[in-house]
Amino acid sequence: MNFKRFMPSAFVLRAGAAALVVAALAACSGTPKPKPAELPANPALLGVRQAWSVRIPGVSFPLATDVSGDMVAVAATDGTVVMIDARSGQESWRASVGAPLVAGVGSDGSLVAVVTANNELVALQSGKVLWKQRLGAQSYTAPLVAGRRVFVQTADRTTSAWDGQTGRRLWSQQRTAENLVLKRPGVLIAVGDTLVTGVGGRLAGLNPANGSSRWESPIAAPRGTNDVERLVDLTGSVSREGDVVCARAYYASIGCVDTSRGALLWSKPASGADGLSGDERFVYGTEENGNVVAWRRGDGERAWQSEHFKYRTLTAPLAVGRSLIIGDSTGLLHFVSREDGSPLNRLSPDGSAIAATPVLSGNTVVVVTRNGGVFGYRPE
């Protein structure tokens, strides 16, 4: 068994007795990860121009960069939140919530929401803190801001909705929680008039007006003999095409669900921890061993697999134009072909690790690094 996936920092304990599990796993955390494969010379087959850059303090939490129209919201670990116009790279505003962050950023282009290490949900607007509310548990998933409301998913399997302007709690729904939950961002998105969230290894559709359940669809089922082995939370970004949402279950599988009726279309084994991207033909993801994989959207069969980045720690990919854009922990930004995964170009924004999955705003790819570099790139 590969214990790398079970290191203590990867999950949160919900029961005191489970502390014994952490001690045991820390003592047998497995062999070090193999040395990353050497990269060939940069082919430079795709033109990429840096359009702008902005500097924020360092980023050491699982940042989710949010895009709404031409506005991009980013945040730093120290609580700095910045709204940037992706067309020009100009800051619209910059503010501080006054405490370190563990989750963010969620935004609709006007209202921004983050979660602090003190379990406070904080909403900002026009560079000012609008309100703060205490959460009942830790949250590692960026809040979702939609329909003048803020939706939050906490580690105790509670989903809640808050009025965007007043901070008044509108509703809260809690599901039965396992003893262990991932200390990683989960799934929380809006699809039409349905709030879609991850509950363990299931994708669930909720009524955003009151939190009542509309459907649940299993992407992965718990397996194994203990809480750690049975951990199958949905994690990271999803790939959405129309009503079809494809998501990853942590080190277990990926699958696609028709959210209009809550029906599982397919599920396939996959070994990774980060989210997915996709287009009308393929679903793209990066695996634990550094492979980049494309699965056919229609049936989940593998279309291609690239081993060019073997044993590198990669972000989830972003599909843009004819390329996939992937960051790695050495600070490189890779551009590879969506057709077969072959390298097209690579660059190093500032030499520090890429802190979040790249996002697209208009024709600008926004990249954030651990050292707090925010870069806008325009591929050809």
* Residues 209/147, Cβ–Cβ less than 8 Å: no
Instruction: Kindly report the length of the chain.
Output: 380
Query: Omega into 105 within 30° of 0, i.e. cis?
Result: yes
The span from the CA of 73 to the CA of 103, in Å, is 13
User: Is a pLDDT exceeding 90 seen at residue 74?
Assistant: yes
Write down the pLDDT at residue 296.
98
Give pLDDT tens digits for 94-151: 999 999 999 989 999 999 999 999 999 999 999 999 999 999 999 999 999 999 999 9
User: Is a pLDDT exceeding 90 seen at residue 178?
Assistant: no
Q: How many CB atoms lie within 10 A of CB 373?
A: 21
Write down the pLDDT at residue 37.
83
Q: How many CB atoms lie within 10 A of CB 89?
A: 18
The span from the CA of 234 to the CA of 182, in Å, is 9
DSSP state of 152: E
| 5: confidence class by pLDDT, cuts 50, 70, 90 | very low
Name the burial class of residue 40, with classes exposed (0-12), middle (13-18) and buried (19+) by CB atoms within 10 angstroms of its CB.
Answer: exposed
Fold of 63-183: Lipocalin (2.40.128)
Classify the C-alpha dihedral 307-2-61-14 as positive or negative. positive
* Residues 289/311, Cβ–Cβ less than 8 Å: yes
Token pair recorded at residue 266: 């397919």
| 368: confidence class by pLDDT, cuts 50, 70, 90 | very high
Instruction: Write down the mean pLDDT value for the chain.
Output: 90
Q: What is the mean pLDDT of residues 268-297?
A: 96
Please name the residues in contact with 240: beta carbons below 8 A apart, sequence gap of 6 or more.
Answer: 189, 191, 246, 278
Q: Specify the pTM.
A: 0.91
User: Is a pLDDT exceeding 50 seen at residue 8?
Assistant: no
**Would you list the domain boundaries of the chain?**
1-32, 63-183
Q: What is the mean pLDDT of residues 212-218?
A: 96
Please give, one letter per residue, the 3-state secondary structure of 316-345.
CCEEECCEEEEEECCCCEEEEECCCCCEEE
| 108 strand-pairing partners | none
- Residue 222 CA from chain centroid, whole number: 21
The span from the CA of 17 to the CA of 29, in Å, is 20
Write down the pLDDT at residue 229.
73
Work out whether strand 373-379 and strand 364-368 pair parallel, antiparallel, or are unpaired: antiparallel
Q: Which region among 48-57, 68-77, 125-134, 216-225 has the lowest average model confidence (pLDDT)?
A: 216-225
The span from the CA of 120 to the CA of 95, in Å, is 16
Give pLDDT tens digits for 218-273: 999 887 777 777 788 999 999 999 999 999 999 999 999 999 999 999 999 999 99
The span from the CA of 175 to the CA of 157, in Å, is 5
